[in-house]
Structure 1
Amino acid sequence: MDGDRGRGPVSPQDPSRLDMIMGPAAQLAQSEHCQVLSVFTPSLDGRRPVMVWLHGGAFVSGGGELPWYDAARLSAEQDVVVVTVTYRLGAFGFLQLADTAGPSPGTSDQIAALQWVHRHIGQFGGDPDNVTLFGHSAGGASIEAILQWGHASLVRRAILQSGNARTHRRTREEADKVAQMFVGLAGTDPRLLAENEILPIQRELSRGRHFAFDWWPTSPDVPAEFAVDLMAGWTRDDGLPFLMLADQARPGPDTLSSYSDRIGPANAMFSVGSHAAAQAAVAAGRRAWLYRFDWEAPASHLGAPHCIELPFLLGEPEAWTAAPMLAGASWHEIDSLGAGLRAAWASFARGDGPGDAWRACSDADQPLNILPMRDKGRNP
């Protein structure tokens, strides 16, 4: 597919809280009937590794159809098939009423997408027996939820980019409390409401609960074993945007320095979960690698924040021109360094590991690989 492709809808949503980092999202149609896939393939022939992308957005914003996540470059350059997934968000995807059971509806959307891949990806030049899930933030947490619900048979490998499910598992009891609050505000069964009536109630429920896990995948009482090969990592200043949100701060020349002593602790919501996921994979007899992404744009004042690695992997330059986190950077540098990242991600998807220069985790050691690697793949 090329960059002029028609785009499906995204789930109903408000503007992202992270527009100060990524810039505004493209204006696409919004609908609760947003369960669509886009397939990027070099050819309809052959059996290539398949990489399935789950977007982030705190389970309340984003969509696989956004230009940020176009995968034509990754697919053509690395000879892999890439599938981007759009799933229901907020109350549409993660409200679970008392008479329902099993995974959250949004998680069920993602599982259905994987099942579609297994049935049909062979028609697009992909190998249904060689599927790697990769996802950022909420997308990474989604991968963990899918595996917790016992669907590892659909996946060979997983890449968690700033995923943090292991720092919070939403119990059914927590989901029930949110459902009770939502029904109380709605005054009726939410399934009787029109689509345009849901988002205002969701907005009201979330008012004053900025970092609550109201819209989060529900975990099973007994999570399944984490039995896939794994890459997991975070960015050097991952927690910065969330500190800024808590302070209602906007980017400025002193942003990074003023938060320097708080970023490390804020990163824990991503680093702790990444280490725990790697440990679980190794304990299950699988391979695991940890990374941290350290690149920063020369004029952004944001360091290496949440989302900074995304343009190195996905999207064309037009999609990223308004991203404050890339201020002062040349696309030539992003694309050049991104080639190494794309090669590592695709090498992992082929089953070869992310590269000879990467140090793998073991029972006794969890080495951190600093990205982007330079000098012919060596860590700086």
Structure 2
Amino acid sequence: MEALSRALHLKQNVTIDLVSAVFGVIFTAGAIKATQLVIRNKQERVLRSPRDLVLPKLTAAEQELLPYPPDSLPGGRDVDSPYGTMRVYEFGPEDGRKVLLVHGITTPCLALGAVAQGMADRGCRVMLFDLWGRGYSDSPDLPHDDRLFSTQILLALTSSPLAWTGDGRKFSIIAYSLGGCVATSFTAHSPNLVESLVLLCPTGLIRSRHLGRQRRVMLAADYVPEWIMEKFVKKTLQKPMYSNENKDDDKEAGVEKVARAELEEEPTTEYPISKKYPHLTVMGAVQWHLQQHPGFVRSFMSSVRYAPITGQDAIWKKLALREDKTLIVAGTTDPIIIANEIKEDAERVLGDKLEWILLSGAHDIPVVDSETICGHIAKFWAL
């Protein structure tokens, strides 16, 4: 009986060891698989731009036919980072005043191409970059807030072969629409880096009543499947700004107007958005990356949710502590950056540190009237 007992005990231990070994193998395999899934998911959190998805399939001649060729502006480079790869352009005299340009919510940086070239022709060293998810910049799965955008600005600056900061060096910023609130936040938190701030039709002080249905829907998007939201936004951005369907429709307001107001007109200035490809249009570039960039809609939606588009009085008040004035240029018929409202609110927070210019035109004045804008900026900077 004792021998049988020892045999049964041994068999029981063997069985337990065997079962444990099997479960160990299963657990290990599962852990490896889970780890692979996690790694894969982390890799997929950066949605690649047309730089990786489109350009490798095209010849150089075919790339030149794109609505946004990769060499639309001079001095292009791709900057790698933990957030993905971003596209930067830098050109103009190396010893000129250094000027960073930050574009709007819908467009790539090409929208400010005419302003950039106008300032370069006036002796400035200019730098532009595609915000995350636009143009040739990847789309990271992170909140597109002032923290992410400020980091992107620093990534762009440090990628330059020239020194833009350090040893008392400062640079100036020209920012448009969404870029206005991004640049304002950056300047407020890094006052010793920015020499002068110029805001073209800026967001940041938009009154809440102008934030339309789209932002309200997006702010409640936690309850809506992401693919439905993306489909809704994509359809909205594909509509022309003033089609018969939307003309005089007061129900449409806020973010959707900001987005498509950037695309309202074609250039009428002597400065095209691209000197190399003077036929290019902002609308064409936007429609192209809307179709070809898998992260564009995601980045657009995240910017609507998290960027400092409204309620930024405290940040703007920090600008009043700076020695230099802030120049704001607005349009008389802008459908969302209402001229009299932005002037009133800017005067309230900036006081005598505000320089104000009102031009005839809508939200797209940096595209259609770039030469006039460059002239005012040059005068403001005494170039």
TM-score (norm 2): 0.48
- With a CA cutoff of 8 Å and minimum separation of 6, indicate the structure with the bigger relative contact order: 2
TM-score (norm 1): 0.49
| Structure with the higher fraction of residues in helix conformation | 2
